[in-house]
Amino acid sequence: MTTNEFIDEIKNRILAQLLPVTQEIADQKYADRLKRATLSADEAAEYIGISKTLLYTMAKEKRIPWFPIGAAGSQKPQMRFRLSSLDRWMDDQERLNYDAPDG
């Protein structure tokens, strides 16, 4: 067995052991996210791939759907984002961008 064949054999064994484990972890994280109906601002920003600052700006300008959580009359309610609303919003943004005329 050559050195390259030996290295390939080791690499294939490592991959055979790691891939199922990493796939299981990824599948579980995805399933956990789908179970959650709402996301915090941190989670929502990560989910759609923007900074939390931009998310707050867009939410305050009513450019992205959110709802407040907190005591009645609270001056600083926490923002919550429904996963389904964010998915719908991203679909709408994609359609608007795709259907927009060039220029």
Angle at 45 between CA 44 and CA 47, to 5 degrees: 60
d(CA 84, CA 67): 13
Q: What is the pLDDT of residues 35-59, one digit of tens each?
A: 678 999 999 999 999 999 999 999 9
Its sign, for the CA torsion 95, 84, 47, 66, is: positive
pLDDT in tens, 76-99: 888 999 998 999 999 999 998 887
Q: Where are the domains of the chain?
A: 1-32, 36-70+77-103
**Looking at the whole model, is its pTM more than 0.85?**
no
Fold exhibited by the domain 36-70+77-103: Multidrug-efflux Transporter Regulator; Chain: A; Domain 2 (1.10.1660)
**pLDDT bucket at 5, cuts 50 / 70 / 90:** very high
Cα–Cα nearest to 48, from 87, 96, 92: 87
- Residue 12 half-sphere exposure, CB side, CA atoms within 13 Å? 6
